[in-house]
Amino acid sequence: MPLKFRVRAAAGFASLCLMAAGPCAKDLAGPIAASEWGGDHIGLTVSSTGGALEYDCASGTIDQPIVSATNGNFVALGTHTTGHGGPVMQGEIPDRHPARYDGWTDGETMKLSITLTDTGQKLGDFTLVRGQSPHVFRCL
């Protein structure tokens, strides 16, 4: 095989590799913009300072900006508060626990795993979509 052909073939292959990594690769690093996210049994409102979550019969907070790495992964700390049916009574102390929110997003879909850090209890894995209304069932 002539040297000229091998050089052209190698250059063409290198160009294909760069094109595949270029526009297709998306750097997801940075803060998640203020937005609404919804999914089955969960809703998340993201703000510049963190987030507020609502679940079936519970709520939560993310108490710091949510910042994703280049691959879309993030970890944020906050709280989880277990709810109950009926009204909140005057003087009632909420059942609040520190929580860790492990997640991933591509900007349109979010995967979120919630763990209570004081007990180690994993509350579940959720999938949310940006701009979608949450499908949450209230306690009665």
Looking at this protein, which amino acid is placed at residue 112? Answer: L
Mapped to the 3 state alphabet, what secondary structure does 14-80 carry?
A: HHHHHHHHCCCCCCCCEECCCEEEEEECEEEEEECCEEEEEECCEEEEECCCCEECCCCEEEEEEEE
Residue 139's pLDDT is 81
CB 51 within 8 A of CB 66: yes
* Nearby residues of 44 by Cβ (< 8 Å), 6 or more positions away: 36, 37, 38, 51, 52, 53, 110, 112, 128, 134
41: left (phi over 0), alpha (psi -120 to 50) or beta: left
DSSP 8-state secondary structure symbol assigned to residue 14: H
Band (13; pLDDT cuts 50, 70, 90): very low
- Report the range of poorest mean pLDDT among 4-13, 43-52, 53-62: 4-13
Q: Which residue in this structure is represented by tokens 């997640």?
A: 103
- Report the 10 Å Cβ neighbour count for 72: 19
| Average pLDDT of the residues in 43-59 | 96
Predicted TM-score (pTM) above 0.75: yes
Query: To which residue do tokens 């919630």 refer?
Result: 114
Spatial contact of 100 and 62, defined as CB atoms under 8 Å apart: no
Would you state the structure tokens that stand for residue 1, as one six-digit string? Answer: 């095989």
pLDDT band with cut points at 50, 70 and 90 for residue 97? very high
